[in-house]
Amino acid sequence: MKVLVTGGAGFIGSHVCDEFLRAGHEVVALDNLSSGRRENLDPRVKLAVLDIRSPEAAELIRSERPQAICHLAAQMDVRRSVEDPRFDADANILGFLNLLEAARTAGVKKVIFSSTGGAIYGEQDIFPAPESHPTRPVSPYGVSKASGELYLGYYKAQYGLDYVALRYANVYGPRQNPHGEAGVVAIFAQRLVAGRECTIFGDGGQTRDFVFGPDVARANLLAFEKDYVGAINIGTGIETDINRLYALLAEGAGSTTPVTHAPGKPGEQRRSCITPALAQKVLGWRPTVALADGLRKTVEYFRAKAREPSRAAG
């Protein structure tokens, strides 16, 4: 079958492309390369360099007629969404609607939507949060992802377009771009291997649920293969605070550089952690890479990139 992966040259998207290729599918990637990289893609993937908001992106869907769309292209920086909510909505809501309108007329059978399991719940009442937890995002980014899920519900009810909204925890791993994509692990790893100082915003006691990129990619393939419709958390159910995260990364990088602290940023919640119980039940998915192992692989990736002077990471 043919699958279109938006944001396919990016960090998570390229791992998703790899998963579908290994399963024997034809893969087309749509990416504007604002943060994605051609070198992330397997040569067998057809790359269309387009913006999801453009008429050309809609025409690509109508001409390629994929059976499914994995939608990962997004404005994904919480801080930028707070600073410029109109830009966030333009990319994450209007861009997505552009694709959905093309999908319904092109005969697409299923949309696998990359949502957020952190920002969509806001300040949680329950840890780890299940999918039934109230959605009350405290950032425009979280609002835009919640809107995407609501639009998917509409397109399912009105046009019969099946969907799965994968609510990711904090995804990290090899290929993450520390400049173009929001990701504290990538930022810290790149700076640590370069011997540079890192900054933690706030006291470092804020917690997140960190899940490895290739594990997330596998969830996309499973969501494509199963009949389930609705939202599913993709996380580990384990909270890790940022101070502990930094200590693990510094140890992996062999760094003794002390961390500095700066004032916290608006729009960021204190604690975030989601349960993967439903993913295990309906997809047969669970995280397979422990945090320490995933961080070690990530540091190794950035160390290898640092040895490439013509294509240094970032």
Cα dist from 199 to 1, 23, 74, 187, 258, whole Å: 45, 41, 25, 10, 9
Lookup: tokens for 249: 């990364």
**C-alpha to C-alpha distance for 228 and 163, rounded to whole angstroms:** 8
Residue 305 counted as domain residue: yes
Per-residue model confidence (pLDDT) at position 79:
84
Q: Which residues pair with 200 in a beta bridge?
A: 261
Residue 298 counted as domain residue: yes
The strand pair at 68-71 and 46-48 is best described as: unpaired
Pick from 239, 237, 313, 224: nearest CA to 278 = 237
* Domain count within the chain: 1
Query: What's the CATH number where 47 sits?
Result: 3.40.50.720
Structural domain including 43 reads 2-240+250-311
Q: Contact at 8 Å (CB) between 172 and 212?
A: yes
| Element spanning 164, H or E | strand 162-168
Active site residues: 141
3-state SS of the chain: helix, strand, coil percent to 5? Answer: 40, 15, 40
Neighbouring C-beta atoms of residue 40, cutoff 10 Å: 22
Q: Contact at 8 Å (CB) between 115 and 231?
A: yes
DSSP state letters, 59-72: HHHHHH--SEEEE-
Residue 245 counted as domain residue: no
Per-residue model confidence (pLDDT) at position 299:
98
The strand pair at 207-208 and 240-241 is best described as: antiparallel
Cα distance from N-terminal residue to C-terminal residue, the chain: 34
Cα dist from 248 to 166, 257, 268, 288, whole Å: 27, 13, 22, 19
Residue 283 counted as domain residue: yes
Per-residue model confidence (pLDDT) at position 177:
87
Q: Which residues pair with 232 in a beta bridge?
A: 166
pLDDT digits (tens, 9 = 90+) for 166-207: 999 999 999 998 875 468 999 999 999 999 999 999 999 999
Residue type present at position 160: G
Per-residue model confidence (pLDDT) at position 310:
56
Neighbouring C-beta atoms of residue 180, cutoff 10 Å: 18
Residue 230 counted as domain residue: yes
| Chain center to CA of 18 | 15
Per-residue model confidence (pLDDT) at position 313:
41
Pick from 36, 54, 53: nearest CA to 45 = 36
| Mean pLDDT in consecutive groups of 10 residues from the start of the chain, 314 residues | 98 98 98 96 98 98 98 92 96 98 98 96 96 96 97 98 98 88 87 96 96 98 98 98 97 94 86 97 98 97 88 43
Q: Contact at 8 Å (CB) between 257 and 250?
A: yes
Rg of the chain on CA atoms, in Å: 18
Residue 145 counted as domain residue: yes
Q: 3-class SS at 78?
A: helix
| Element spanning 86, H or E | helix 85-89
